[in-house]
Chains A and B, each alone.
Chain A
Amino acid sequence: MSQSFDEITAQLKRRHRKSARLKWMSMGALILAATFLVVFIGDMLVKGLPAFQQAQIQVEVSYTEQSMQIPPAAVSDEARSLVSRGYLRLIPGRMRDNPELMGTTRMEWVLADSEVDQYLKGHYTRLSESHKRAVDRLKEAGRAELKFNTRFFTSGDSKMPELAGIASAAVGTVLTLIVTMAVCFPIGVMTAVYLEEFAPDNRLTQIIEININNLAAVPSILFGLLGLAIYINFFGVPRSTPLVGGLTLALMTLPVIIIATRTALRSVPDTIRQAAFGVGCSRWQVVRDHVLPLSLPGIMTGSIIGLAQAMGETAPLIIIGMVAFIPDVSTSFSNAATVMPAQIFTWAGEPERAFTEKTAGGILVLLAVLISLNACAVWMRKKFERRW
């Protein structure tokens, strides 16, 4: 059956159209993925940026004997329900620290209640109409405004949204990651050096290799079960502490570091090793003096990526109790602590609208840290990458 020239041309056109369609479809998929990212980050910014501002109002605070006993008495009746209750509670302590305050009455900028804060930001609030009018009056007089929220970065968790901050979670994260890196960096690098440079090619080595790949794919929550059953129940490591959290995350990060280090070691050309063996170095001397220094940038890059991964991990830490309520910054490895993702998780469970904002604010801080860590890793890879 022969086809005419025209038929073949038409067929060809169809086939090329199909080709173009595949191209546009696949491009569309990529654009869709990028759109997800943009929508996601935009959503977080819209929700989280207001958290960096906090409403303050200017009221008369009278420091008297009475306000020492009953702190709410320090401000006028009208202002009382607009001022943060948590802030009022701090007044007696401040008076004790600064005795010269006693008996004076001052105009001060004080922290507003979170409902006032939400109202000033234009969100839904539970403020009554009369309170709303009072806030409007204050605003017109220039006595109520949104100021930069330093407390968010300097204080720990609180049940009152206007007082809550991420400082204790940030410190907890740092402590936990110190433990993690102290354990998994040396072990990971040593394992990788052993597998790449020393290990004989036998059954045991193969088992270790398969095992590491499997470990990398084990769901993170199972590491939490391990931490609970072995560290806490068996060894008696105290619950909720950076110590047990760090140890759990260390096992989770171990495969990442091993795999990254092995890639880095493999990229060092064999000629370097042969030259070193040629002048009479022993195996360990070759590794210590030549292979490790040359692959160090790659190892560091891999470790930073592993660190970033550990930093964002939440599930295993929930299992071992690191979602505790930590109002004070603690710098001990064996005190209860929380980490930033866990703090985000806790806040996400709070019903108040103001906490949603805090959650998104915490997410923005976490994302900023993670993105700068990853950017740092990419920069290092670019700067120290060597082509042999």
Chain B
Amino acid sequence: MQTNQIFLLFCGVLLALGLAAFFMARAKATRTRASGTAMYAQPDQYAWFSVLITAGPAVLVSAVGAFAMLLLGAEIPTLYLLASSLAIAAIGLLLGLKQVRPDFHARQAIERVIQGILAAAAMVSIITTLGILLSIVFEAVRFFQMQSFWEFITGTIWNPGASFLAAAGRGDEAGSAAQFGSVPLFVGTFIITLIAMMVAIPVGLFSAIYMAEFAPDRIRTLAKPVLEVLAGIPTVVYGFFAAITVAPIVVDIAGVLGLDASYSNALAPGLVMGIMIIPFISSLSDDVITAVPDSMRQGSLALGMTKAETIKSVVLPASLPGIISASLLAVSRALGETMIVVMAAGMRPNLTANPLEDMTTVTVRIVAALTGDQEFESAETLSAFALGLVLFVVTLALNMVSVIMIRRFREKYRSNNL
């Protein structure tokens, strides 16, 4: 018999056992109740409890078994595993039927099981974070066993070129040794992020001020969805826009000004990334500005301040923590943004501060390292995980600071809708 036939059979038998548990338990409970004994729970609840105790452990055992086979390579024949699960299901059925007693709290038992299942689901997010952390750290450590950590942090030359030869045991044949100095990548990432922020923060903040303080309701209800559309456009589309439309325009303008720009300059992805980030800043800042209590505005206007003065010296200082928090979130977005830079920025690590030259970013190198035809064990592939680790730590820190800032704001103004 083939594995999936056995599996189908297993499912069928389990289903039959479950149905049997349901109807037998219900019949027994109904009978007990009909004989005049008061019971703690309804017949259906006894029935569901029996189903849970029949199917639950059986499924759990087979899942654990499959896990062990897959992961630890344990040699458990599928047939035996599923047969033992069925045996456990049968025992569960008997136990469940035995529990149909007037003094058994079936409803509370179900409640406990369900709470357990829900809590297990909640653990998935923790496991995901741990999974990200472990997978990255584990591979990054392997990378740092091959390459020095200090050189990775301070080196200024990123040249993974010949590292695949080293992985193939021919390291000494290579003309130049692989070098993994990540400073040019960090500088490139930083400059592109800076350009993006120079577009996004002013435009986003002023849009938020307009929407929160000046705009009539009609424009406000119209403008919010428009900005949300900007946030909903896939990044690959922005990347295409940056590479095909914006980059040539930048080159043309630079040419008119007598400057020499590369077609994969850093300015184009930076500008487009800024456009992408506008809605993050505007919608978060808008929320924060509207959460500033009106009494503060009224007090300021009562003293004879104009609207602009009120905004500048009362509303904005009050909402500053929120605005900073929004900007930090935006920075973390920009650092981790991949598609725009992969499509529009350069591939060549280039240590420069001139945004018209091509430069590369951390995310571009991660993609380049993992889409090449390198062996997984090679230093270049593993370098992606080291870069990923840096990215993870930096974005995590930015998010943490951002959360703390927004919490401080919320506590100060007792605003619950943030």
Assess the A360–B240 pair: CB atoms within 8 A: yes
In the complex, what residues of A have CB within 8 A of residue B384's CB? 225
Select one of A32, A195, A225 contacting B388, CB under 8 A. Answer: A225
The segment from A91-99, A141-149, A215-223 found at the interface with B is: A215-223
In the complex, what residues of B have CB within 8 A of residue A37's CB? 226, 229-230
Assess the A219–B136 pair: CB atoms within 8 A: no
Assess the B399–A312 pair: CB atoms within 8 A: no
In the complex, what residues of B have CB within 8 A of residue A236's CB? 70
In the complex, what residues of A have CB within 8 A of residue B229's CB? 37, 371, 374
Q: Is A27 an interface residue (CB 8 A)?
A: yes
Known: A345-B339, A348-B240, A367-B233. A23 touches B371 (CB 8 A): no
In the complex, what residues of A have CB within 8 A of residue B209's CB? 22, 26
In the complex, what residues of B have CB within 8 A of residue A34's CB? 223, 226
Assess the B244–A47 pair: CB atoms within 8 A: yes
Select one of B121, B138, B307 contacting A187, CB under 8 A. Answer: B121
In the complex, what residues of A have CB within 8 A of residue B210's CB? 23, 26-27, 29-30
In the complex, what residues of B have CB within 8 A of residue A213's CB? 399, 403
Interface residue count on the B side (C-beta < 8 Å)? 92
In the complex, what residues of A have CB within 8 A of residue B226's CB? 33-34, 37
In the complex, what residues of A have CB within 8 A of residue B124's CB? 187, 191, 254
Q: Is B350 an interface residue (CB 8 A)?
A: no
Assess the B132–A223 pair: CB atoms within 8 A: yes
Assess the A218–B392 pair: CB atoms within 8 A: yes
Known: A26-B214, A199-B122, A251-B128. A33 touches B282 (CB 8 A): yes
Assess the A229–B136 pair: CB atoms within 8 A: yes
In the bound complex, how far is the Cα of B125 from the Cα of A191, in angstroms? 9
Select one of B125, B206, B223 contacting A212, CB under 8 A. Answer: B125
Interface residue count on the A side (C-beta < 8 Å)? 88
Select one of B70, B121, B332 contacting A191, CB under 8 A. Answer: B121
In the bound complex, how far is the Cα of B244 from the Cα of A193, in angstroms? 46
In the complex, what residues of B have CB within 8 A of residue A30's CB? 206-207, 210-211, 215, 223
The segment from A151-159, A314-322, A325-333 found at the interface with B is: A314-322
Select one of A18, A47, A258 contacting B125, CB under 8 A. Answer: A258
In the complex, what residues of A have CB within 8 A of residue B107's CB? 282
Residue of A37, A190, A215, A225 with most partner-chain B CB within 10 A:
A225
Q: How far is the CB of A137 from chain B (nearest CB, A)?
A: 33
Q: Is B243 an interface residue (CB 8 A)?
A: yes
Q: Using a CB-CB cutoff of 8 Å, which residues 134-148 of chain B contact chain A?
A: 135-136, 138-139
Q: How far is the CB of B271 from chain A (nearest CB, A)?
A: 10
In the complex, what residues of A have CB within 8 A of residue B128's CB? 215, 226, 251, 254
- Residues 223-245 of A, flagged 1 when their CB comes within 8 A of B and 0 if not, give 11110111001111000000000
In the complex, what residues of A have CB within 8 A of residue B245's CB? 43
Residue of B115, B125, B240 with most partner-chain A CB within 10 A:
B125
Residue of A218, A222, A309, A313 with most partner-chain B CB within 10 A:
A222
Assess the A198–B118 pair: CB atoms within 8 A: yes
In the complex, what residues of B have CB within 8 A of residue A367's CB? 233, 237
In the bound complex, how far is the Cα of B231 from the Cα of A374, in angstroms? 12
- Residues 181-224 of A, flagged 1 when their CB comes within 8 A of B and 0 if not, give 00000110011011100110000000110111111011111111
The segment from B54-62, B158-166, B259-267, B362-370 found at the interface with A is: B362-370
Q: How far is the CB of B42 from chain A (nearest CB, A)?
A: 11
Select one of B118, B121, B236 contacting A314, CB under 8 A. Answer: B236
Q: Using a CB-CB cutoff of 8 Å, which residues 288-329 of chain A contact chain B?
A: 308-309, 311-315, 318-319, 323
Assess the A194–B367 pair: CB atoms within 8 A: no
Q: Is B12 an interface residue (CB 8 A)?
A: no
Q: Is A112 an interface residue (CB 8 A)?
A: no
Q: Is B335 an interface residue (CB 8 A)?
A: yes
In the bound complex, how far is the Cα of B131 from the Cα of A28, in angstroms? 45
Select one of B119, B135, B306 contacting A19, CB under 8 A. Answer: B306
In the bound complex, how far is the Cα of B373 from the Cα of A86, in angstroms? 29
Q: Is B114 an interface residue (CB 8 A)?
A: yes
Q: Using a CB-CB cutoff of 8 Å, which residues 207-253 of chain B contact chain A?
A: 207, 209-211, 213-215, 223, 225-230, 232-237, 239-241, 243-245
In the complex, what residues of A have CB within 8 A of residue B228's CB? 374
Residue of B nearest to A251 (CB): B128
In the bound complex, how far is the Cα of B234 from the Cα of A367, in angstroms? 8
In the bound complex, how far is the Cα of B343 from the Cα of A314, in angstroms? 12
Q: Is A171 an interface residue (CB 8 A)?
A: no
In the bound complex, how far is the Cα of B129 from the Cα of A367, in angstroms? 31
In the bound complex, how far is the Cα of B210 from the Cα of A341, in angstroms? 34
Q: How far is the CB of A369 from chain B (nearest CB, A)?
A: 10
Q: Is A44 an interface residue (CB 8 A)?
A: yes
Q: How far is the CB of B47 from chain A (nearest CB, A)?
A: 15
Q: Is A378 an interface residue (CB 8 A)?
A: yes
Assess the A222–B223 pair: CB atoms within 8 A: no
Residue of B nearest to A363 (CB): B237
Q: Is A386 an interface residue (CB 8 A)?
A: no
Q: How far is the CB of B15 from chain A (nearest CB, A)?
A: 19
Known: A18-B306, A33-B203, A282-B107. A221 touches B363 (CB 8 A): yes
In the bound complex, how far is the Cα of B201 from the Cα of A342, in angstroms? 30
Select one of A22, A218, A224, A344 contacting B237, CB under 8 A. Answer: A344
In the bound complex, how far is the Cα of B234 from the Cα of A40, in angstroms? 13
Residue of B nearest to A38 (CB): B226
In the bound complex, how far is the Cα of B333 from the Cα of A284, in angstroms? 38
Select one of B125, B213, B338 contacting A220, CB under 8 A. Answer: B338
In the bound complex, how far is the Cα of B226 from the Cα of A378, in angstroms? 13
Assess the B125–A341 pair: CB atoms within 8 A: no
Select one of A208, A221, A223, A348 contacting B367, CB under 8 A. Answer: A221
**A residues with CB within 8 A of B:** 15-16, 18-19, 21-23, 25-30, 32-34, 36-37, 40, 43-44, 47, 186-187, 190-191, 193-195, 198-199, 207-208, 210-215, 217-226, 228-230, 233-236, 251, 254-255, 258, 282-284, 308-309, 311-315, 318-319, 323, 341-342, 344-345, 348, 356, 359-360, 363, 366-367, 370-371, 374, 378
| Between-chain CB contacts (< 8 Å), 12 pairs | A18-B306, A29-B207, A219-B336, A219-B363, A228-B370, A229-B385, A254-B125, A312-B232, A319-B370, A341-B234, A342-B236, A345-B339
5 additional A-B residue pairs with CB within 8 Å, beyond A33-B282, A211-B125: A36-B230, A208-B122, A214-B129, A221-B338, A341-B234
Listed from nearest, the 7 A-B pairs whose CB atoms lie closest are A219-B336, A312-B234, A29-B206, A229-B135, A26-B210, A190-B121, A194-B118
